[in-house]
Amino acid sequence: MFGLSRWMVLGYWVSVTVHGLVQPRGPVDVVEGLTGKPALPDLYEASVLDLQDGLDAGLFTSVDLIKAYFARIDEVNLKGPELRAVIETNPSAIMQAAAMDAERKAKGKRGLLHGIPILLKDNIATVAVEGMNTTAGSFSLLKSVVPDDAGVVKRLRKAGAIILGKANLSEFAHFRGNVASGWSGRGGQGTGAYFPSADPCGSSSGSGVAASIGLVAVTLGTETDGSITCPTSQNNLAGIKPTVGLTSRAGVIPISSNQDTVGPIVRSVTDAAIVLSVIAGKDPNDNFTLAQPDVVPDYTRALKKDALAGKRIGVPRKFFLDVPNIIDETVAAAFESALETIKELGATVVDPADLPSAEEFLASNNETIVLDVDFKIELNAWFESLVENPSGVRSLADLIAFNDANPELEEPTNFTDQSELIESQATSGKDAAYFQALAFDHELGRTRGIDAALQHFRLDALVLPAPGFTTSPAAVAGYPIITVPLGFYPDNTTIQSAGPLTVYPAPGVPFGLSFLGTAFTEFNLIGFAFAYEQKTHTRLARKAFPEAIPKTQLANVIGK
């Protein structure tokens, strides 16, 4: 009945067809049972396509998947190493999964996300009647009622996906002050799975940690400057920070409409392309999305192993690589070797290909001016938009007072800093200085930054290691970044402190490689990242530390 199914193959690269393309898969870490029944995918690594195959073949249901992922979340969230990746789970998920199972049986699947559980960063809204909060990790928003699902959530539900829960994050997407990455009042200190107490990076920290050890296959994060790229990098994942305006921010607790963007944090470029194809698109509730091209491409068509052949990839060294202590020797060595791989894949590496604005960029404080003003205006609008908020907080000023009035919840020892909230509250609004700073951001990031380098050197993309300040030009420009695994800190790495409760770097901690481009070039960047990923398979070179790997598998829940 299953023919020469890919489930039967042990330890080999297996091929399947995605939209007419042959895609390498695996290695599939499963064994054919003695009964001759096809084996189940290992949830640590199972891809969206693996899960769809099993669901289509009737090996398991979406209800089974929800049960297995819930059990895995409990294993590492509550017991074990307390990674604190997930803030809450969806009490309606089993019911929704049963409906998706019934629909699949009756009518077939809607698409590749039908019946697939998805974890959302806790700043992405879901309607309260479903049973989950939307709080950005803050007690000031506990039991608040949002008016509607976020735009990206509407698209996911229409595609048949099931929201599994909400991921922990750096509170308010880390726009709060100098508190450690991965900490929120509600979720506590989240930690990475590659070393005990590892800094998970943020602010989409829980999304990254959850994807890294298979608490779910698909997560969404948000980025304003680094918040998808960095947790992708530090958790050994594939992530896309889309062009601002490709994915809707309606219903996302904001920092800045000029820089915020929603994107996938997953284990492979293929899964990232599948998810982006669903969540991208115009939304009347986010007018930035109206500027995107009329047709959302099927990004899976970009998944070609020869995508780098004949392309020109630039290395903007000045101030992003060549300043002492910006990146360490481990990352620098891995990056130089990645450039060799990119050449082997048929690309011309143009090195250096500096941003004309590099020097001014590092000296510029324009980004902070814009974010402070946007945050105050947009967060106030968020509080105003709520149907109700039991905490009584209605504004940024109220939020600061709420935190001070509830120090045991929001300002525990070593997590007291609210300096960014306070600085933002002090701004006067969208005055001439704001518009001047925004114009400088666009000039430094776009016209004298990324676009200038791309045009001058006739490049298809730029490449940089993910660590360092490498996200900021794209952040102020609103341009896309795609990150894939690059390497791991070696076993003899000296462990350093990253916060009161976290360490970085440490032995085995991962780091990533980023491809960057101009607006709406995700299709090309996905191809380049896929070619590199398929050549190197770095993610599979090292696993999380044993206690951080949950043991529950589908076999433990099927029929129970």
Ligand X SMILES: *[C@@H]1O[C@H](CO)[C@@H](O)[C@H](O)[C@H]1NC(C)=O
Question: Catalytic residue positions?
Answer: 121, 203, 227
Q: Which is nearer to ligand X, 32 or 88 (CB)?
A: 88
Site for ligand X in 271-300 (CB under 6 A): 287-288
Cβ proximity to ligand X, 187 vs 465, nearer residue: 187
From CA 236, how far away is CA 486, in angstroms rounded? 8
Report if residue 360 touches ligand X, rule: CB under 6 A: yes
Q: Which is closer to ligand X, CB of 29 or CB of 360?
A: 360
Residues between 171 and 230 with contacts to ligand X, criterion CB under 6 A? 187-188
Which contacts of 435-441 are long-range, i.e. CB under 8 A and separated by 24 or more positions?
437/366, 437/367, 437/369, 437/370, 438/258, 438/366, 438/370, 440/364, 440/366, 441/258, 441/364, 441/366, 441/367, 441/370, 441/476, 441/477
**Stretch touching ligand X by CB under 6 A, among 15-23, 27-35, 126-134, 461-469:** 126-134
Q: Is 364 in the site for ligand X (CB under 6 A)?
A: yes
- Yes or no: say if 14 and 28 are a contact pair by the CB < 8 Å rule: yes
Tell me the backbone φ, ψ of residue 80, rounded to 5 degrees.
45, -140
Minimum CB separation of residue 358 from ligand X in Å reads 11
Q: Which of 131, 284, 293, 346 binds ligand X (CB under 6 A)?
A: 131
Q: Which of 46, 65, 66, 86 binds ligand X (CB under 6 A)?
A: 86
Query: Does 148 participate in binding ligand X (rule CB under 6 A)?
Result: no
Residue 224 CB, nearest approach to ligand X (Å): 17
Among residues 90, 366, 391, 502, the one that binds ligand X under rule CB under 6 A? 366
Q: Residue 117: helix, strand or coil by DSSP? A: strand
Conformational region of residue 104, where left means phi above 0, alpha means psi within -120 to 50, and beta covers everything else: alpha
Report d(CA 264, CA 246) in Å as an integer.
Answer: 13
Indicate the residue among 346 and 490 with the shorter CB distance to ligand X: 490
Q: Which residue number, 287 or 385, has a Cβ lying nearer to ligand X?
A: 287
Both structure tokens of 67: 């049960």
Q: Least distance to ligand X from the beta carbon of 21, Å?
A: 35
Q: How far is the CB of 84 from ligand X (least distance, A)?
A: 5
Least Å distance, CB 463 to ligand X, is 24
89 binds ligand X (CB under 6 A): yes
The owner of tokens 């990076």 is 201
The nearest distance, CB 86 to ligand X, in angstroms, is 5
Note whether 308 and 347 are within 8 A (CB): yes
Gyration radius (Cα) of the chain, Å = 22
Q: Is 143 in the site for ligand X (CB under 6 A)?
A: yes
Q: Name which of 480 and 527 has its Cβ closer to ligand X.
A: 480
Binding part of the chain for ligand X, among 130-138, 314-322, 392-400, 535-543 by CB under 6 A, reads 130-138
Chain CA centroid to CA 493, Å:
26
Is residue 22 a contact point for ligand X (CB under 6 A)?
A: no
Identify which range of 34-42, 195-203, 359-367, 459-467 contacts ligand X by CB under 6 A: 359-367
Q: How far apart are CA 42 and CA 361, in angstroms?
A: 45
Binding test (CB under 6 A) with ligand X, winner from 132, 272, 303, 486: 132
- The residue from 52, 133, 234, 514 that contacts ligand X (CB under 6 A) is 133
DSSP helix/strand/coil, 54: helix
**What is the C-alpha separation between 387 and 153, in angstroms, rounded?**
19
Query: Strand 117-121 relative to strand 162-167: parallel, antiparallel, unpaired?
Result: parallel
Report d(CA 473, CA 296) in Å as an integer: 25
For ligand X, the closer CB: 413 or 428: 413
Q: Which stretch binds ligand X (CB under 6 A): 70-78, 264-272, 309-317, 381-389?
A: 70-78
Listed ranges 29-37, 199-207, 277-285, 363-371: which one lies at the site for ligand X (CB under 6 A): 363-371
* Residues 489-508 close enough to bind ligand X by CB under 6 A: 490, 492, 500
With the C-alpha atoms ordered 290, 378, 364, 199, is the resulting torsion angle positive or negative?
negative
Member of 6, 67, 84, 311 binding ligand X (CB under 6 A): 84
Q: Give yes or no for residue 111 binding ligand X (CB under 6 A).
A: no
Q: Which residues contact 20 (CB under 8 A, 6 or more apart)?
A: none
Reduced to 3 states (helix: H, G, I; strand: E, B; else coil), residue 220 is: strand
**Helices and strands, counts by H and E, the chain:** 17, 15
> Which residue lies nearer to ligand X by CB, 132 or 529?
132
Say which residues have a Cβ less than 8 Å from residue 31's Cβ, sequence separation at least 6.
10, 39
With binding defined as CB under 6 A, does residue 77 bind ligand X? Answer: yes
Q: Which of 87, 215, 296, 554 binds ligand X (CB under 6 A)?
A: 87
| Shorter beta-carbon distance to ligand X: residue 41 or 187 | 187
Cα–Cα dist 117/128, whole Å: 18
Within residues 409-438, the interface with ligand X by CB under 6 A covers 413-414
Q: How far apart are CA 255 and CA 272, in angstroms?
A: 24
Q: How far is the CB of 506 from ligand X (least distance, A)?
A: 13
Cβ neighbors of 390 (< 8 A, separation 6 or more) are 142, 143, 144
Cβ 52 vs Cβ 112: under 8 Å: yes
Of residues 179 and 266, the one with the C-beta less far from ligand X: 179
Q: Least distance to ligand X from the beta carbon of 129, Å?
A: 8
What minimum distance in Å lies between the beta carbon of 287 and ligand X? 4
For residues 193 and 548, the answer to whether their CB atoms sit within 8 Å is yes
Number of residues that bind ligand X (CB under 6 A): 30
**Can you give the binding site for ligand X, defined by CB under 6 A?**
73, 77-78, 84, 86-89, 128, 131-133, 142-143, 187-188, 287-288, 360, 364-366, 369, 413-414, 440, 444, 490, 492, 500
